[in-house]
Amino acid sequence: MLWVAMAGGGPVCYDGIDLAVYGVADGLPSAEASCLLSDDHGRLWVGADQGCRAGGGSSAVRY
């Protein structure tokens, strides 16, 4: 998978077939993602203008 942080938009994920754009409805702190990081535990960290979020699904934590 390829993740891209979009200034002015949520992070975009390309899985080789489809593009998916994520935003506030998906649990992100805001619709603007400024940075992404995958840590040693396989969590995706999304930095936004109103905080950050780690993980995915029901295990996601918002900071």
pLDDT digits (tens, 9 = 90+) for 13-31: 899 999 998 888 888 888 7
DSSP string for residues in 5-60 = --TTS--EEE-SS-EEE--GGGT-SSS-EEEEEE-TTSPEEEEETTEEEES-GGG-
| pLDDT band, residue 53 (cuts 50/70/90) | confident
- The pTM for the full model equals 0.73
Tokens, residue 62: 């918002």
Residue 22 near residue 34, CB atoms below 8 Å: no
Say what the pLDDT of residue 19 is: 93
Determine how β-strand 51-54 pairs with β-strand 2-4: unpaired
